[in-house]
Amino acid sequence: MVRASNSFVCTNCGAQTKQFFGRCSSCGEWNTLVEQVIEAKDLRRRREGVDLSKEPSNLRSRPMGGVGQQLIERLPSGFQEFDRVLGSGLVPGSLVLVGGDPGIGKSTLLLQSATAMASQRSILYVSAEESAEQVKLRWSRIEGADTNLNLLAETDLEVVLQELESLRPEVAIIDSIQALHDSELTSSPGSVAQVRECAAALQRVAKKYGIALLLVGHVTKEGMLAGPKVLEHLVDAVLTFEGDRFASHRLLRAVKNRFGATHELGVFEMQASGLVEVNNPSELFFSGSSAAGISTIVACEGTRSLLVDLQALISPTSYASPRRSATGLGTNRLHQILAVLEKHISLPLSRYDCYLAVAGGLEVEEPAADLGVAAAVVSSFKDLPIPKGTVFIGELGLGGQLRPVGQLSQRVQEAERLGFVRAIVPSGSGTNSIEISNKMEIIEADNIAEVMVITAQGSLT
């Protein structure tokens, strides 16, 4: 075999050197040099078996009209929540990257999914991090049924590629891409060059045989998927598995998805015998408690709405500038809402510290949570609980006005389903068309001052 020679390329300016430096001698950036194989084309040709030397005899492009439409059969992953995030299942020949912090449960999720799929299809599970015995141990812990799941404990890319070619499974799982290594490259496993080469080689085989590939990827200290964005561009879907290490629930989200929507959320719970999907996640994030400083909002995550508790703590400050901290919500958003409350309902918040937290480690990004944040802040400031059974939906404008939000009827219906009796929503949201029972009351408000008057009829004044 002709060994390819290696060189190093700066990812910032593109300069090439024969030697590795910590700092690029051309542009002066640190840690930007990555290794690359020269004559990599030869290797690729060998792997693909394509003869590029042959002159193309005719045109290879086709008019769009002449391209046939292919009905894609999606492969169910064994978890409804996983399928939802993927966009109703795995697409043959696609690459899905599942990222997340160490110990969050990526291997458990994929092993459980592989076990479920293996009852009907041929599945290969490549474990590059754990030995076959360790995987078996985990497998018996999740009470894996006796299916014909194929297991390969291997870190050499070439062996994995050969196994994929000879077994030709419908789905293959690589746990993890950072632990694989290509012996053509001298850099260590997990380096950018290795991750990129391994993923690209796997992708070629996956596309050739229509294998759906699930790759596990680690998250770096900075919270990015390792292999700086290289993998994210290459794969068809990037999912992140996240959660609070101290809480049992785990959230699966799509960051990128070529075959589905990206805002879907899958909710799981880690139990002693593996992950269990949570079909009714509102119960996880909402407690029904009615202490001062707690308000309830309805957040929309893709096609599903969730009831979420927000908690605020307002106390007189002992610093020159008050402390503001928000968990699960942008601090800028909190600053803005506090400024609106100070200006439009005359709360002297600039003399108070403000802490805000979203229950259960959930991130609430949408502006529809604004009104709920304002309600929690006012409730804590006045030390009065919000009337029981009230939910707040609405975006708060800088002038104190309420702005309509999307998916209102879906949100109100979810609140009703969980026993809420009152929803405070922005005026002009078209509430007449929402189908609800007589018990539920929808109150429209124009601005934050009006909301205060309405809730004052309960106990919040």
* Smallest gap from residue 112 Cβ to ligand TYD (A): 8
Distance, CA of 386 to chain centre: 32
* Smallest gap from residue 113 Cβ to ligand TYD (A): 12
Count of CB atoms within 10 A of residue 73's CB?
Answer: 9
Q: How many residues bind Mg ion (CB under 5 A)?
A: 1
Question: Pick from Mg ion, ligand TYD, none: which does 207 bind, CB < 5 to 8 A by kind?
Answer: none
* Smallest gap from residue 148 Cβ to ligand TYD (A): 21
Q: Taking contact as CB under 5 A, which single stretch among the options 101-109, 401-409, 419-427, 433-441 is the one that binds Mg ion?
A: 101-109
Q: Which is nearer to ligand TYD, 68 or 102 (CB)?
A: 102
Long-range contacts, 9-17 (Cβ 8 Å, 24+): 9/33, 9/34, 9/36, 11/192, 11/228
* Smallest gap from residue 115 Cβ to ligand TYD (A): 12
Residue nearest to ligand TYD (CB): 107
Q: Which is nearer to Mg ion, 107 or 413 (CB)?
A: 107
Q: Which is nearer to Mg ion, 24 or 126 (CB)?
A: 126
Q: Which of 77, 94, 107, 112 binds Mg ion (CB under 5 A)?
A: 107
Question: Pick from Mg ion, ligand TYD, none: which does 103 bind, CB < 5 to 8 A by kind?
Answer: ligand TYD
Question: Pick from ligand TYD, Mg ion, none: which does 272 bind, CB < 5 to 8 A by kind?
Answer: ligand TYD
Q: Contact at 8 Å (CB) between 367 and 392?
A: no
User: Is 380 an interacting residue with respect to Mg ion (CB under 5 A)?
Assistant: no
* Smallest gap from residue 98 Cβ to Mg ion (A): 10
For the chain, the maximum distance between any two Cα atoms, rounded to a whole number of angstroms, is 83
* Smallest gap from residue 252 Cβ to ligand TYD (A): 12
Residues that bind ligand TYD (CB under 6 A): 100, 102-108, 138, 141-142, 270, 272-274
Q: Which is nearer to Mg ion, 107 or 178 (CB)?
A: 107
Distance, CA of 158 to chain centre: 31
Under 8 Å CB-to-CB from 175, ≥6 apart: which residues?
106, 107, 110, 125, 126, 127, 128, 129, 130, 216
Q: Which is nearer to ligand TYD, 219 or 377 (CB)?
A: 219
Question: Pick from Mg ion, ligand TYD, none: which does 104 bind, CB < 5 to 8 A by kind?
Answer: ligand TYD
* Smallest gap from residue 175 Cβ to Mg ion (A): 6
* Smallest gap from residue 107 Cβ to Mg ion (A): 3
Q: Which is nearer to ligand TYD, 126 or 391 (CB)?
A: 126
As a whole number of angstroms, the distance between CA 356 and CA 213 comes to 40
As a whole number of angstroms, the distance between CA 283 and CA 71 comes to 38
Q: Which is nearer to ligand TYD, 104 or 237 (CB)?
A: 104
Residue nearest to Mg ion (CB): 107
The footprint of Mg ion (CB under 5 A) covers: 107
